[in-house]
């Protein structure tokens, strides 16, 4: 027979109570039963643990040794039991649903990305934050207020003013696309397969706002085409469409734009004017472990947007290029 924790508890209870009778009452046992148990415990340890007389019991030298070890072992065993129980309970609980905090400038990716993440992880909590400012989105990434940000740019970098922020983030190129225009359905060039930028030298222009370099890139493209553009009216998507539909402006747009009644989506032939879609995140963040998966969904979402655009798919048949970017 080997010593068990229950034996040590009984020895400690007898010592604390000062008598077998009182200890038996505390343990809910009959006094003869505890007396018999104590005798078995003493046989295990090879000697008497208590001296007994009419005043009660006192630990022997052997009893003091057993009690000293028991008072260390019993709390340790209790702590082990509690820790193991907590761990077992946590392991049996269903995993906490993933969470994705997405920020995005105006573009074709956010809706498709949310749809794909939701289909792939139905329990995931997905929130989105729209913004016209890539600076704001980058600051939110660095401040752990966003997990991923979808931004756009026309140059080869996120701009000098944002280089310090950008360098602290990880970026993946999703697509490198041409720039298209929106013309009134009544415009003389509305049925064109492609419009040269120089053909629109006298046009008023409209575009959605932003803090990127697109205005500078557009002005440079117009200069290469031989003219200086009139100032761009910045307004939301609905405002741009209204200006185009009434013939008051030509709007710059992404090739994935799906069109609107009274408006024609026409490819723009220009020297080097492009629009690049990127996704960014903070290295080392909890969300960075899912970056490859999110990038894959973003590229698939862009491919879906391209497939829905008649004008873009027609243009791509005559201008094959690698997209989405790899």
pLDDT tens column, 116-169: 999 998 888 999 999 888 889 999 999 999 999 999 888 655 544 445 667 889
Q: Helix 20-27 to helix 31-45 angle, to the nearest 10 degrees?
A: 110
pLDDT tens column, 84-94: 988 887 777 55
Cα–Cα separations (whole angstroms), residue 165 to 130, 283, 291, 312:
19, 13, 19, 33
Q: Return the SS3 of 155.
A: coil
pLDDT number for residue 217: 87
pLDDT number for residue 93: 58
Tokens coding 167? 């360098």
pLDDT tens column, 269-279: 887 788 889 99
pLDDT band per the 50, 70, 90 thresholds, residue 298:
very high
Question: Which position has the token pair 């761990």?
Answer: 87
> If 0-12 CB within 10 Å is exposed, 13-18 middle and 19+ buried, where does residue 244 land?
buried
pTM over 0.85: no
pLDDT tens column, 212-260: 777 888 889 999 999 999 888 888 889 999 999 999 999 999 899 887 8
**What is the average pLDDT score of the chain?**
87
Counting residues of the chain whose pLDDT is more than 70, the rounded percentage is 92
In the predicted model, is pLDDT for residue 282 greater than 80?
Answer: yes
pLDDT number for residue 324: 45
Beta bridge partners of 149: 103, 280
Give the integer Cα–Cα distance in Å for 153 and 135: 12
């Amino acid at each position: 027979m080997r010593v068990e924790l229950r034996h040590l508890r009984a020895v400690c209870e007898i010592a604390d109570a000062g008598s077998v009778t009182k200890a038996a009452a505390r343990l809910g046992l009959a006094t003869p039963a505890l007396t018999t148990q104590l005798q078995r415990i003493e046989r295990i340890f090879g000697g008497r643990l208590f001296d007994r007389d009419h005043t009660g019991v006192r630990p022997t030298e052997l009893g003091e040794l057993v009690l000293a070890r028991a008072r260390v072992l019993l709390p340790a065993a209790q702590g082990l039991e509690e820790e193991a129980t907590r761990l077992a309970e946590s392991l049996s609980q269903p995993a906490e649903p993933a969470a994705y905090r997405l920020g995005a400038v105006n573009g074709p990716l956010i809706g498709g990305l949310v749809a794909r993440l939701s289909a792939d992880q139905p329990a995931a909590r997905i929130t989105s934050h729209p913004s016209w400012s890539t600076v704001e989105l980058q600051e939110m990434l660095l401040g752990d207020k966003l997990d991923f940000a979808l931004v756009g740019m026309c140059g080869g970098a996120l701009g000098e003013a944002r280089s310090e922020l950008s360098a602290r983030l990880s970026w993946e190129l999703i697509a490198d696309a041409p720039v298209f225009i929106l013309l009134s359905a009544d415009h003389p060039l509305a049925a064109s397969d492609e419009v040269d930028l120089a053909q629109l030298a006298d046009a008023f222009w409209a575009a959605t706002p932003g803090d990127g370099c697109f205005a500078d890139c557009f002005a440079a493209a117009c200069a290469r085409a031989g003219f200086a553009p009139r100032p761009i009216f910045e307004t939301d998507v609905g405002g741009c469409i209204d200006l185009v539909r009434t013939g008051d402006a030509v709007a710059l747009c992404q090739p994935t734009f799906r069109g609107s009644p009274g408006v024609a989506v026409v490819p723009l032939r220009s020297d080097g004017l492009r629009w690049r879609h990127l996704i960014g995140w903070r290295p080392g963040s909890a969300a960075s472990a899912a970056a490859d998966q999110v990038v894959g969904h973003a590229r698939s979402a862009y491919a879906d947007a391209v497939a829905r655009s008649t004008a873009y798919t027609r243009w791509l048949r005559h201008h094959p290029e690698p997209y989405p970017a790899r």
